[in-house]
Amino acid sequence: MAIVTVTLNPCIDKTVCVEQILPNCKLSCTDVRAYPGGGGINVARVIQRLGRAVCAYWSCGGENGERLRQFLDAEHVQYETVPIVDPVRENLIVREESSGNLFRFGMPGPLLREVEQQRWIQKVRQIPASAQYVIFSGSLPEGAPPEWYENLLRDVPEGIQIIVDTKKEALRHALKVGVYLIKPNVRELEELVGRELSDEATIGQAAREIIEHRGAEVVIVSLGRAGVLLVTADILERIAAPSVRLQSKVGAGDAVVGGLVAGLSQGMTLPEATRYGVAAGAAAVMTEGTELCQREVAEQLFQTM
């Protein structure tokens, strides 16, 4: 396999619609749907849709774990699981029809016990040497300290490029390891450098500081609808997102990572692959819930960039 994704805290994303969110009222929900979710799970789904070999590693427990298996089987995503006692979490995404706003309720997830943390360390150590990239994406589950996350990254076999898309202390500890690429948004980058970043110049400077301290070789800063800022020691380039009709932002950041790595794995340059990732992210916001992107749409958008 060329690419491995790691999802320590996967989920089922349940989406519903209500006419209006009002306090102290019983709200009638319609259009109830469920999708596989969690950062690395979504990244793997995108990479598979874009025609690249990928295997998703994820924590599996309870009835929701079995449902997640069924979802991934239906999408023909290759996966390997790390068994846990507690059930996989279920997140709730509510669309308010009157305003078009999305309200996202993220659950903390299962407790990752010490024995399960050890299982994950063994799993990561056994990633095949043929893998080009391993992507750690998503939040830490309960009971998983950032120091353990740092050790987990250090256990990735030598020669495999590590990509990290997480936040807060987990991201800070990833930088101690020194990884290939991180993808923070502006707020997460501000937390890393400890100051407000008011414009593109200050954002670029903050990203360069991380690179100079060898926390990461590449920093891709998510700018929302404005696209991303690609920063390396030699590159500073803003890549604008195509203008598309917004349906749901859920999973768009994961689609960017999936498209980026799919591009890199087929020999694109870093700027080309980043554009491919932004195109995949734009294609993802055109779909409902976490349906993510379709390959034809992503490639059409890529050709316009």
pLDDT at 160: 97
Q: How far apart are CA 45 and CA 32, in angstroms?
A: 21
Q: At what angle do helices 39-49 and 62-74 cross, to 10 degrees?
A: 10
Report residue 173 as tokens.
């500890």
Catalytic site residue 155?
no
Rounded Cα–Cα distance for residues 294 and 226 (Å):
21
**Vertex 262, ends 203 and 39: CA angle to 5°?**
65
DSSP 145: -
Mean pLDDT by 10 residues, the chain (305 residues): 93 93 91 93 97 97 97 97 97 91 89 96 96 96 94 97 96 97 97 94 97 97 94 97 83 94 97 97 84 90 93
- Cα–Cα dist 62/270, whole Å: 40
DSSP string covering 219-281: EEEE-GGG-EEEE-SS-EEEEPPPP---S--TTHHHHHHHHHHHHHHTT--HHHHHHHHHHHH
In the chain the first and final C-alpha atoms are separated, in Å, by: 29
Q: What pLDDT shows up at residue 143?
A: 87
**CATH of residue 202:** 3.40.1190.20
Report the pLDDT value the prediction gives residue 291, as an integer from 0 to 100: 76
pLDDT at 59: 98
Nearest CA to 66 among 88, 85, 86?
Answer: 88
What are phi and psi for residue 18, nearest 5 degrees? -135, 155
Please tell me the distance from the alpha carbon of residue 219 to that of residue 231, in angstroms, as a whole number.
Answer: 5
Question: The domain containing residue 85 runs over which residues?
Answer: 3-19+28-303
How many domains does the chain divide into?
1
Distance CA 182, CA 185 (A): 10
What pLDDT is stored for residue 94 in this prediction? 92
Compute the distance between CA of residue 69 and CA of residue 109 in angstroms, rounded to an integer. 17
Instruction: Spot the catalytic one: 13, 86, 165, 254.
Output: 254
The total of other beta-carbon atoms located within 10 Å of residue 183's CB is 25
In which order are the strands placed within the sheet that holds 79-83?
A: 79-83, 54-60, 3-7, 133-137, 161-165, 179-182, 216-222, 228-231, 236-239
CB 258 within 8 A of CB 42: yes
Predicted pLDDT at 108:
84
Per-residue confidence (pLDDT) for residue 146, from 0 to 100: 96
